[in-house]
Amino acid sequence: MQDWDGLRTAFEVVRHGTVSGAAQALGVHHATVIRHIDALEARLGVKLFQRHARGYTPTEAGEDLARVAQATDDQFAQLSARLSGQGSAVQGELVVTTLASFTRRLMPVLAEFQAEHPSVTLVYRTGPRIFRLEYGEAHVAIRAGSPPKELDNVVQELATLKTALYAAPSYVERRGMPTEADLVTHDFVGADDEQTRAPGLRWMSANIPRDRVVFRAIDDLSLYEALRAGVGLGFSPVAEAGPDLVQVLPPRDEWSAKLWLVTHVDLHRTAKVQALTQHLKASLKDCE
């Protein structure tokens, strides 16, 4: 295929829905986008888009082309990540992904690493979705729960997060200090998803009436902030609970969560990934 520019242009038009959006993404004039699309349609002998006042809508042929272009784009991203990880120097961009709630514990560790390796640019990614190592979206992942199962990943046990039940001082002042015997009379903050994999939240679903979970969220950072605000009782890793929380019940094994250090097999042995994973294991081995 000789018309790589046309394919890339068509892909961006599908993604953005407008010629101007595609032009901005590609860094070209909108007239160039139109010229590429017209030339590609003429070459293929098929209409790829329906033109209308609000933009370009892909035809069935355009959608087929976009799927192929997306797969090619993903493969190039993966190749780029592999190539960027080559070399013996600890330098360049290094992408780390983890749970947002782990930031408080992890950030000092990353700061130490960057101070030791000033030629490294750290990119820190958190979010509701899992950033995929095989597509080059991250070099190193720290994940909680069951060990990841992806075949191309190298998975190492990093630490065990001991977890306890906490309340904010404002909650204790308002409702009194909870005891294990009267837990079901208290308010809780918990998962909106009853299929959550977090051990403490699973325990809550099994042992606390649903109507006592007065605040629910899908992300652990929101739950932690609700706990600190005194909305109700909630779980926190011991290492994450600051002086602004009161421990209601001590840690239990059934509430603990495993942390896993995950890298892609193609990048696992590169200098910068090895340097970071060794630093993380040394710094977090006593993490609770």
Sort strands 92-97 and 140-144 into parallel, antiparallel or unpaired: parallel
Task: Tell me the C-alpha distance between 223 and 226, whole Å.
Answer: 5
Q: Can you give the pLDDT at residue 171?
A: 98
Q: Can you give the pLDDT at residue 258?
A: 87
Q: Can you give the pLDDT at residue 79?
A: 63
Give CA torsion, residues 269, 274, 277, 281, to 10 deg.
110
Q: Can you give the pLDDT at residue 257?
A: 85
Task: Tell me the C-alpha distance between 108 and 102, whole Å.
Answer: 11
Q: Can you give the pLDDT at residue 120?
A: 92
Total residues found in the chain within this entry: 288
Nearest in space to 133 (alpha carbons), one of 79, 90, 78, 71: 78
Q: Can you give the pLDDT at residue 55?
A: 80
pLDDT beneath 70, residues of the chain: 1-3, 74-88, 128, 286-288
Q: What is the pLDDT of residues 204-230, one digit of tens each?
A: 999 999 999 999 998 888 899 999 999
Which DSSP category does 143 fall into? E
Which SS3 state, helix, strand or coil, does residue 122 take?
strand
Q: Mark 207-223 as b/e (b = at least 16 C-beta within 10 Å).
A: ebeeebbebbbebbebb
The DSSP secondary structure of 181-247, one letter per residue, reads: GGGGGS-EEEES-TT---HHHHHHHHHS-GGGEEEEESSHHHHHHHHHTTSSBEEEEGGG--TT-EE
The DSSP secondary structure of 10-64, one letter per residue, reads: HHHHHHHSSHHHHHHHHTS-HHHHHHHHHHHHHHHTS--EEEETTEEEE-HHHHH
Q: Can you give the pLDDT at residue 211?
A: 95
